[in-house]
């Protein structure tokens, strides 16, 4: 098989939660460039239209569907709408995420903790279950869950985020085992420090961490959202046909640096 065919996503349909910005949009751009049709799903209509403009500028086929990942009904409706308009579903990217921070974990309210877990972890189950019948009908599929380097690290100021992203990795492993018989591969990407709206908010709260993070990162810098596209294309393509249950760090070496 020619190398170019390994990563070809022509005639594939992808559904990306939180696809209207940051890592989700970076991945959507990568998919479109490889020939996939993409549905970006999110709540902010303004951001969705702006993201849709960027995708169509790449001559790709893309639609935007409104979706609240904390609502089972909203998730089901969004997945069905995307499959109906694009002719099915082959690839799912569970990317929606949020964080609520506090100086120390005892300062984080129970409501904030539960909200973060609902958005970051519970939604992965909601969306995966909604997408499953469509992938099964196609004879297989690819699920890519977006974890975090915090999936393996603890965090005193982002305890809910760390706990939820750790859960995403374990859910990925369970799903990979359960769905292997349906030819559905399920994997997880663990981004490091990436410039997004969420991390910009983190730096406003903890401005001293910028220099510390760069110093610890062997690559000597933060990532841009588009740099998550390469690993995602790999996990969405034929190239990863025997890869399932994996959690791949994409962090410039931060997780292996002392």
**Catalytic residue positions?**
161
Phi-psi region of 35 (alpha: psi -120 to 50; beta: other; left: phi over 0): left
Residues 148 and 122: beta-carbon distance below 8 Å: no
Strands (E), the chain: 13-17, 37-42, 62-66, 91-94, 141-146, 184-191, 247-250
Cα gap 248→149, rounded to integer Å: 10
In 3D space, the residue among 182, 133, 99, 180 whose CA is nearest the CA of residue 15 turns out to be 133
Residues 98 and 117: beta-carbon distance below 8 Å: no
Cα gap 199→193, rounded to integer Å: 8
């Amino acid at each position: 098989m020619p190398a170019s065919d390994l990563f070809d996503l022509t005639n594939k349909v992808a559904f990306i939660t939180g696809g209207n910005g940051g890592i989700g949009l970076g991945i959507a751009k990568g998919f479109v460039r490889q020939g996939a049709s993409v549905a970006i799903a999110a709540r902010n209509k303004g951001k969705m239209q702006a993201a849709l403009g960027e995708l169509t500028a790449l001559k790709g086929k893309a639609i935007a569907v409104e979706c609240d990942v904390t609502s089972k009904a909203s998730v089901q409706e969004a997945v069905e709408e995307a499959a109906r308009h694009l002719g099915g579903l082959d690839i799912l990217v569970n990317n929606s995420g949020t964080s609520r921070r506090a100086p120390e974990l005892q300062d984080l309210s129970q409501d904030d903790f539960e909200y973060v877990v609902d958005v970051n972890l519970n939604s992965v189950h909601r969306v995966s279950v909604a997408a499953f019948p469509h992938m099964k009908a196609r004879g297989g599929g690819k699920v890519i869950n977006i974890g975090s380097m915090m999936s393996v690290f603890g965090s005193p100021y982002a305890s809910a985020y760390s706990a939820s992203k750790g859960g995403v990795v374990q859910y990925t492993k369970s799903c990979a085992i359960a769905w292997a018989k349906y030819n559905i591969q399920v994997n997880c990407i663990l981004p490091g420090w990436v410039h997004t709206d969420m991390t910009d908010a983190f730096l406003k709260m903890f401005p001293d961490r910028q220099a510390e993070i760069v110093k610890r990162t062997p690559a000597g810098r933060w990532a841009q959202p588009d740099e998550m596209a390469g690993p995602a294309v790999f996990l969405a393509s034929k190239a990863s046909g025997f890869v399932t249950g994996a959690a791949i760090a994409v962090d410039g070496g931060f997780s292996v640096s002392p």
